[in-house]
Structure 1
């Protein structure tokens, strides 16, 4: 396909096409109306249009040719026929980097104080926050990582002393090749760790957290069939480094990134799920940005819940869905300075949301929620 300079290739908020492009020649720019300083330039070899096309979500940016462009069109239905390993790896790398970019923009808006909570003096603060939230193994592993990384720092003695009061979770049980059973509360890795592996959740639930604004902030909670693939971020932006905690007994397959990519070559269903899954992660990060940008608190919550449901419904057709996010999680994800009673009242005032006796947020009809509040996400 050929597009002359100044052509609009994809239009913001329009229904997506059933194809995406790899740029063969020329350059493009993507731009949107919901966040400043977010123009992206793409060149020869880059991918455009994939995220919306595979998720069937409206384009979140307009893409314009800034030079005469020649583009290779790939239909979504033909992803399964790709036998070029370089293209498969290029798609994976593109998605991972795009997730980083949008999450970094979300965190840059969310963070109040432009300080680094990840320097060696603040490990104890982070550890205490996890401990106070009932995640003792995360607290323990954070302290161990601190000692291994900083070794002879001034406060290492304080960390060692604090460590003596902690008990680590039981180690996982191997159930098959590369597959392990983890007990509730086990911490897979912390913000201080180097992540080289991919975690494929066979069953159970994993929570992703970090410390933002001196509070434990939920990133996302993943269930069966989801993949934790956030290997070491290319962008050296500290809030992108995360802690992963097992929220209920879980069975997880652990693979190196390269071994996982090899599986994508041969397992067509996994390939399609993986691309769609990462594309949804990008969509949810963008929705979180839109939630933060809303002026009205109720509208902020509506869009945040909408983003959470996008992940929840990816492999789940249930109409009624109980969310694992607490009232405190919702507040911290939006940096709301309000009481639990206030957020409880706001949630009760949103259609298709109930709060049960245990203060769990229950979506009574996910499809109706999407239909009702779709316009809030534009």
Structure 2
């Protein structure tokens, strides 16, 4: 007797292991259909022994490949702080040496996954990231793409064909340049088309140049990037260039997370002042980071006064590593957050950065508490 689709779904979601799901595929046609959807909806490829078999299965079965919605490719070194130099060298050697057919097998899978919506590619430093050619002849339209690929023509061609992409992470970017073999000034490499990615809303990139190139003309509401310059004058120019291009988003910005190689009170004040002069950056901004919170009371009040110009600001990230003593205790952080809320009543959450460690204090009224469970790296996405 056949069950309803809802019944199959309820049974499948309570199955604990992939082995049990495989077993259910042999019970009946109804169970097979439901179990295969659960087995192949999300797949991962790495350096384990099961990758070649999974690649062959999906490449040789268009029906199963069409079930894949989310796909992860992960090649990462072990993050063990206690490993010896010899062990680290061996680990790097083992991760750098992949089977000769590894990327070709992955390319065959990608060409078969016509309904793929989420692609996550994480390639460590010891493996070759210049493999965006595996995206050739792919027909899927992604919603979310995490790319550790090198920025090259292959990656640009792929992005130019993405019409539904909403969420993009880029670890690499290079500005367009003229081809060496062309006399035509208009023929350039790595040229991203202005009409590509028309629904891009979330952009995370390690180079501000990528944000400068991609935000104008697209509905970007959440941006995370990093300043590339270190010298103050050059960084100031970069700041104005970045903010002027971000202001050209077709939607108001909700979240802006700007990292820096060196945080100073002077530059943070200039950055915040520049942001508050642009209406497209202030009217809907809910999250802002990372700013240096001054120790001196008058300078701190200046930061608070500038934050008051952001009518919907909810969360601010403050760098406080230079404080002596550091406000590392829960009581000190609650006191600083409470002080900020006195001047900026819309604030409900503050992130404190101490020597790269982050802690969060939150409030649902006027009582502040340390939030130990929140994932700080994703806060900018949820404002």
| Same fold (TM > 0.5) | no
Larger Rg: 2
> Higher relative CO (CA 8 A, sep ≥ 6), structure 1 or 2?
1
Q: TM-score, normalised by structure 2?
A: 0.26
For normalisation by structure 1, the TM-score amounts to 0.26
More strand, by proportion:
1
